[in-house]
Copies of this chain bind each other. A is one copy, B any other.
Amino acid sequence: MSRLNEDGREALNSSAYAILGLLAMGAQSAYELTRQMERTLRFFWPRAASKLYEAPKLLASLGLARATHESVGRRPRTRYQISPRGEEALQRWLGTRTIAPIELESEALLRVWFGRFGTIEDLRNAIQNVQAQAQANLRWGTSIAQEYLVEGVPPERGHISALTFRFLWDFNVMLEAWATWGQRELSGWGDVEPTAERMDRAAAILREALAERLSTPPSERSPG
């Protein structure tokens, strides 16, 4: 992570830049990093809390952030602040054009995929699990959106936050819609056996998916 790249500059990974970005957004302490993680970042860049205490130390050691050791009563506290060199490094990173692809990991979908080896109840439960998570996330999103609508969007970040919000919102709406659809598909099933009728329906599902895409011009493909 702190090896040099060809330029003789530090080769940080995206997680380090994520921390640098949070410092640029005004996070002051490692604990504040953990709060940002809990509030927002975990939905698209989940990282272990313990690492959020390590990462800024590296940035400070490279001169990309300044660390100030204070104390509150008898307890130590380290305050971090992004440095001018850190801001440049962040900008340079944002200017690069190689971006790791989106990754999705879902144990629930894994269980659906293996649904044939369990019971119909197991299969329904896996789908139900996705639905519950989506609904919980949508409630969370609703509370954040309402907070912003009442108190005003963050003046420096609202325009950007809205883009990210819409992504996560759409994702969870999609999850819930898929789960609802899936439960409906399974509504007549008493088992998970592969019957001829179910194979026909499977083919129909594939055809519908392809047809929807052909029939919807890109200009109409937008949230809402």
Binding site for B on A (CB under 8 A): 14, 17-18, 21, 24-25, 40-41, 43-46, 87, 90-91, 94-95, 97, 99-119, 122, 125-127, 129-130, 133, 138, 141-142, 145-146, 148-149, 152-153, 155-167, 169-171, 173-178, 180-182, 184-185, 192, 194-195, 198-199, 201-203, 205-210, 212-213, 218-219, 221-224
Asked whether A109 and B167 contact (CB < 8 A) given A160-B115, A162-B202, the answer is yes
Instruction: Tell me the bound Cα distance from A14 to B210 in angstroms.
Output: 32
Instruction: Tell me the bound Cα distance from A186 to B179 in angstroms.
Output: 32
Asked whether A113 and B160 contact (CB < 8 A) given A99-B108, A129-B99, the answer is yes
Copies of this chain in its oligomeric complex: 2
Instruction: Tell me the bound Cα distance from A93 to B161 in angstroms.
Output: 40
**What are 30 A-B pairs at a CB distance below 8 A?**
A14-B107, A17-B110, A21-B110, A45-B105, A46-B105, A90-B114, A94-B111, A99-B129, A102-B105, A102-B133, A105-B105, A112-B164, A142-B210, A149-B203, A149-B207, A155-B199, A158-B194, A158-B203, A159-B192, A159-B194, A159-B198, A160-B192, A162-B201, A162-B202, A163-B182, A165-B205, A166-B181, A170-B174, A173-B212, A173-B213
